[in-house]
Chains A and B, each alone.
Chain A
Amino acid sequence: MLSRIASCDSHGQDSSYFLGWEAYENNPYDQLHNPSGIIQMGLAENQLSFDLLESWLASNQEAVELKRNGESLFRELALFQDYHGFPDAKKELVKLMARIRGNKVKFDPNKLVLTAGSTAANETLMFCLADPGDAFLLPTPYYPGFDRDLKWRPGVEIVPIHCSSSNGFRITISALENAYQQAQTLNLKVKGVLITNPSNPLGTAMTHQELNHLINFSKSKRIHIVSDEIYSGTVFDSPSSSFISIMEAVMDRNIDESDDLWSRIHIVYSLSKDFSMPGFRVGMIYSNNERVVSAATKMSSFGLVSSQTQYLLSRMLSDKKFTCNYMKENRKRLRKRKEMLVSGLKVAGIRCLKSNAGLFCWVDMRHLLVSNTFEAEKELWKKIIFEVGLNISPGSSCHCNEPGWFRICFANITEETLQVALQRIKVFAQSCNPQMLLLQRRSIIGKWISKLSSSSSYDQEPDR
């Protein structure tokens, strides 16, 4: 009676990523009412800087009253459903995007398409760039939501570019080539690569080298690059110019304007992570390809941003002083919170991938596995949810090909809650089979020593 897509499960909603959420919903931690409940560390939300947003709102009531200089804009906004977007909103958004990139790149508001969240942006790009049955290559580990956003309705396949801890999960030329071969073997036409930069779940900004590999790859195979840069404003190490946008990387190659590579580069952005407003559904596509902009603009009819919201953010972002201060302070707080997580984990004998962005850490719990298998990872994960009381995301849900890695979020809880979580982890880690732990520790120490002498992709204490 219903369509195949309505009845199947490609929406990926049954993956562990979502099941962990359910466990949390059934027994959520609350400092007062449920201090032994499950702490949510699987939600990549940024709750650290609301006070800044709220104080701005308090002094800028017009933005919510839908007024401008005392005049009501209600009628105009109520009627505004132009899929080209509220001009002021787009103007400010491209300025923001440029600022985040240290003004090394300039963006044209006419190439920006507003969508109801980056979820809509990514799906729309798939509809524009690929036919059902075509494939996109994605480096693993990747955000579990992509299985739904890219595949479900557009019918696009995802072929993984396997990255491994041996080099800090960086994208290599051979990994790209292997993925491409894999697609050929599966008889899939590869239309492009989709990267998340900074990465979710790794929390790392891509290096120049990786970006160049991608550009070369795109040139040689003549495919698209979609760069989901929704975490670009969360790069908290200094200098923050360690974030290199795909646009910048292409520019640095001095590729001629007429080269059609330009027409194959597309950026996705959103205010959900940088500005903590996932509820307001503000996403966007930026593309140099006129036809993509044109098609995506029409498709945005299926997910426009509320004009009420477009007005609010146009006002907020036009306050340059506020925006710059917000971004700076926000990054500071993220950094501090990340360091708290990293050092807390270290005390428990747990290491993370060295990261400089995002709202989470990519945590190495391989030494706590009973065996080097995904079954063992699942076992460990269940223990952590139900015994330790922390909802964290297992690497397998992110399609990581090495068992034992977990994504742990740090920006969606209070400092006190984080301390509670860290205490629980410490206790748990200590309680793990001491004998096995000793053996594992010995072998890991051996590995560390050899790594110390090469390069370290593990997070160090700051100020070292």
Chain B
Amino acid sequence: MGLLSGKATCNTHGQDSSYFLGWQEYEKNPYDEVQNPTGIIQMGLAENQLSFDLLESWLDRNPDAAGFKRDGQSIFRELALFQDYHGLPAFKKALVEFMSEIRGNKVTFDTSKIVLTAGATSANETLMFCLAEPGEAFLLPTPYYPGFDRDLKWRTGVEIVPIQCTSLNGFQITETAIEEAYQLAQKRHLKVKGVLVTNPSNPLGTTMSRNELNLLVNIITEKNIHLISDEIYSGTVFSSPGFVSIMEILKDRNCENTQVWNRVHIVYSLSKDLGLPGFRVGAIYSNDDMVVAAATKMSSFGLVSSQTQYLLSALLSDKKFTQNYISENKKRLKQRHRKLVSGLEKAGISCLKSNAGLFCWVDMRHLLRSNTFEAEMELWKKIVYDVKLNISPGSSCHCTEPGWFRVCFANMSEDTLKLSMQRLKAFVDSITTTLHNQSNHQSIKNSRRRSLTKWVFRLSFDDRVTGER
């Protein structure tokens, strides 16, 4: 008889994927401007480190918030004892108002429909437990965040069936792709319970178009399934076309109080927008009372520390602060994004045109030895070990086309970013030189031509992939 459970002994936690292995290499040899200038630069971590000064100065001006005080009075006892899974009312109120603000106040949220969880990781898993049985499936557009393989599948037993998106149309979701995913699920004898999308997308860094969102509403209406919209990057949208939440679409279509209204659920977190992943603040928002009720009870397994709830309720209730933070944060993200894109350009590398997130979806297909995932792995290893940049290979995000990489830009200083681009350029130049000197330079010319052709083709097809050219 097995001593441990199946879950403890399997590897569905996905921890052995390259996504995590790259991190391990970085841990062994981390870059430090002074101590280890030749170390690996971490560009695989989607963290927002650009606006801490704003948070820190708010904390300095508002010591009561972290000091367990309200109007000068200690509320330590009250907070230390507060473990109500309905959450601290003041915090929920501040949070839903913040979420509304991020959506340009085009939608409002109801505090009775929000469930607090220890991070979006917990929120997503909890939703799976609520919406699907073990063995049932959710459809996810590729490429997607590698952590979903653990969060959605591991302890819940839910399966993921990919909606294959491709660079032909900037990785947008199409009706065909969804239908094909459905077929695939049927073939695997899997009952589809819903679709989960990340909007803005990780790893693409793009906001979903109204077309895509409408398509999703059509599909879930027709198939009578759920839609989970993980909107944890909603506060990182730094340029047009701007963020359109699924809630806005439903409102526009007068779906309030219809059946489909109850099947749309949003996941949020303060990890990306506010840069506070350590504080474990996530949320589920659902119009379905039963989902809210079940998720609330399940949140017992991952409540947000009341100490943290209180601190953030004070922070987010300061509207002057939040307004300024949201706009300043976007400004900085936009600037940093531009720096990455132009740095890549100088190295002859383009990315998917993006307007959100903490990363770019970078096209390195022209640097592949061959159009295969083996070649992608080879290139990735070179970049990690030789160029010393930890970036995330597209295969770890289940991308169907080899050669794409996610490169983060908001988790390091500007100087470090600059250095990383210099290293990358040097690497690309060296490859080009090497390849040029090899006898197969003709085939390289051909493949370059092909790539060039592809780019030209894309220029005429869709504006999205051309970056800031």
Which A residues contact B (CB, under 8 angstroms)? 1-7, 11, 13, 45, 47, 50, 53-54, 57, 61, 64-66, 72, 74-75, 77-81, 116-117, 119-120, 123, 127-132, 134, 148-149, 152-153, 189, 222, 224, 263-264, 272, 276-281, 289, 291-292, 295, 298-299, 301-309, 312
Contact = CB atoms under 8 A, between A and B. Distances in A.
Contacts of A281: 83, 118, 303-306
Given A3-B132, A6-B291, A47-B81, A81 B13 contact: no
Given A54-B76, A65-B66, A312-B307, A77 B290 contact: no
Q: In the A-B complex, list the 3 residue pairs whose CB atoms are closest, starting with the nearest.
A: A307-B278, A279-B306, A303-B302
A80 B81 contact: no
11 contacts: A2-B130, A53-B76, A64-B67, A81-B271, A153-B298, A291-B9, A299-B154, A303-B118, A305-B305, A307-B280, A309-B307
A306 B13 contact: no
Nearest to B15: A298
Nearest to B279: A306
Interface in B46-100: 47, 49, 52, 55-56, 59, 63, 66-68, 74, 76-77, 79-83
Interface stretch (B121-129, B179-187, B322-330, B444-452): B121-129
B76 A127 contact: no
B150 interface: yes
A263 B59 CA distance: 45
A220 to B, nearest CB: 14
B77 A54 contact: yes
Nearest to B290: A2
A391 B57 CA distance: 46
Given A65-B66, A75-B52, A153-B129, A128 B8 contact: yes
Interface string B1-28: 1011111110001010000000000000
B107 interface: no
B302 A66 contact: no
Main secondary structure of the interface of B (DSSP, over half): helix
A224 B80 CA distance: 33
User: Which of B15, B121, B263 has the most C-beta atoms of chain A within 10 angstroms of its own C-beta?
Assistant: B121
A53 B279 CA distance: 22
A306 B304 contact: yes
A409 B462 CA distance: 68
A263 B3 contact: yes
Nearest to B7: A127
Contacts of A308: 66, 278-279, 305, 307-308, 311
A3 B129 contact: yes
Contacts of A130: 5
A144 B104 CA distance: 45
Contacts of A222: 1, 3
B297 A117 contact: no
A127 B8 contact: yes
A3 B133 contact: yes
Main secondary structure of the interface of A (DSSP, over half): helix
A50 B294 CA distance: 33
Interface size class of B (residues with CB under 8 A): 35 or more
Nearest to B263: A1
Contact of A280 (B129, B294, B306): B306
Contacts of A272: 83
Given A74-B52, A116-B303, A298-B15, A3 B131 contact: yes
Contact of B129 (A5, A65, A298): A5
A276 B81 contact: yes
A264 B3 contact: yes
B242 interface: no
Contacts of B457: none
B47 A116 contact: no
A77 B277 CA distance: 9
Contacts of A47: 77, 81
Interface in B330-389: none
B270 to A, nearest CB: 10
Nearest to B303: A281
A116 B302 CA distance: 5
A129 B4 contact: yes
User: Which of B47, B129, B226, B278 has the most C-beta atoms of chain A within 10 angstroms of its own C-beta?
Assistant: B278
A13 B298 CA distance: 11
Contact of A79 (B263, B277, B291): B277
Contact of B66 (A2, A64, A81, A148): A64
B8 A292 contact: yes
B52 A131 contact: no
Contacts of A5: 129-130, 294
Given A299-B155, A302-B125, A312-B307, A78 B275 contact: yes
Contact of B80 (A64, A279, A303, A306): A279
B131 A128 contact: no
Nearest to A61: B67
B307 A306 contact: yes
Contact of A2 (B67, B291, B301): B291
B5 A6 contact: no
User: Which of A1, A78, A134 has the most C-beta atoms of chain B within 10 angstroms of its own C-beta?
Assistant: A78
Contact of B68 (A1, A57, A119): A57
B113 to A, nearest CB: 15
B13 A298 contact: yes
Contacts of A291: 4, 8-9
B122 A302 contact: yes
A79 B5 contact: no
Contact of A123 (B297, B301, B307): B301
Contacts of A1: 226, 263, 288
B307 A280 contact: yes
A302 B302 contact: yes
Given A64-B66, A131-B5, A308-B66, 7 more contacts: A5-B294, A6-B290, A13-B297, A47-B81, A78-B276, A128-B5, A128-B7
Contacts of A4: 133
B112 interface: no
A279 B298 contact: no
Given A54-B76, A189-B1, A279-B83, A77 B129 contact: no
B221 interface: no
Given A264-B3, A278-B81, A306-B279, A120 B298 contact: no
B68 A81 contact: no
Contact of A304 (B49, B280, B306): B280
User: Which of A7, A54, A277 has the most C-beta atoms of chain B within 10 angstroms of its own C-beta?
Assistant: A277
B297 A79 contact: no
A72 B15 CA distance: 33
B235 interface: no
Contacts of A64: 66-68
B183 to A, nearest CB: 23
B108 interface: no
User: Which of A279, A281, A298 has the most C-beta atoms of chain B within 10 angstroms of its own C-beta?
Assistant: A279
Contacts of A81: 119, 271, 277-278, 280
A323 to B, nearest CB: 16
Given A279-B80, A295-B8, A11 B133 contact: no
A130 B122 CA distance: 21
A464 to B, nearest CB: 35
Contact of A78 (B52, B119, B134, B151): B52
A148 B8 CA distance: 21
A7 B77 CA distance: 35
A127 B5 contact: yes
Interface in B238-282: 263, 271, 275-280
A301 B275 CA distance: 17
B284 to A, nearest CB: 12
Contact of B150 (A79, A80, A263, A298): A298
A78 B55 contact: yes
B444 to A, nearest CB: 42
Nearest to B10: A295
B300 interface: yes
Contact of B280 (A3, A57, A79, A306): A306
Contacts of B74: 54
A205 B417 CA distance: 58
